[in-house]
Amino acid sequence: MRILKSDCIALVIDIQQKLFPHINLNAELEQNTLKLIKGLKTLNIPIVLTEQYPKGLGKTIASVTEILSDLTVFEKTSFSCIDNAAILKQLQAIGKRNVIICGIETHVCVLQTVIDLLAKNFCPVVIADCVASRKEQDKNTALLRMQSEGAIITSYESVLFELVRTADASEFKQISAIVK
């Protein structure tokens, strides 16, 4: 199945200050996620940003907040973003089928969101190098489950070039510079 720019929205899940330092390979996650977000913004893909119980886990980390400062943050207490009526309503209102997903933790909020997106007839596109957990094994197990449930698992560079489609695209040079 081809992932088309015209049918995509992105969901940035719970990359928050108090949990982030405990995430496995967090510096790599941060750099990959920033490249993904910059690419998505270059391609004008709508983005939804969530925070899990920010009173306890803090706000979104500064580097992500800086490039998404124009967005409303959707606060939630449910692990699945889809259990939050406002987030679900926002995704449905934008009307795109493919949901590009990055965030933490892979085996909790990301996994439950993916399963619920599938149940609502969305197509989750999980960016494997832009999701993480405290333990690598939890991430790997969750990615396997998501894939077996029907989610697409890919990398940030792969999805960005798939969305661009051709070296003739006006955004190609910008995307190439972002992923370098």
63-121: pLDDT as tens digits: 999 999 999 999 999 999 999 999 999 999 999 999 999 999 999 999 999 999 999 99
14 is catalytic: yes
Q: Which of 8, 35, 38, 76 is catalytic?
A: 76
Q: Which of 109, 116, 123, 129 is catalytic?
A: 109
Chain mean position to CA 18: 19
For residue 1, the model assigns a pLDDT of 82
Asked whether the beta carbons of 101 and 126 are under 8 A apart, the reply is yes
Domain 5-179 CATH superfamily: Isochorismatase-like (3.40.50.850)
Q: Is 89 helix (H, G, I), strand (E, B) or coil?
A: helix
For residue 82, the model assigns a pLDDT of 98
Distance, first Cα to last Cα, the chain? 26
180 is catalytic: no
Please give the share of the chain, as a percent, with pLDDT higher than 90.
Answer: 99
For residue 116, the model assigns a pLDDT of 98
Q: What does the DSSP 8-state code read for residue 109?
A: I
What are the domain boundaries of the chain? 5-179
* pTM flag (> 0.85): yes
109 is catalytic: yes
Strand ordering across the sheet containing 47-52: 73-76, 47-52, 8-13, 98-104, 123-132, 152-154
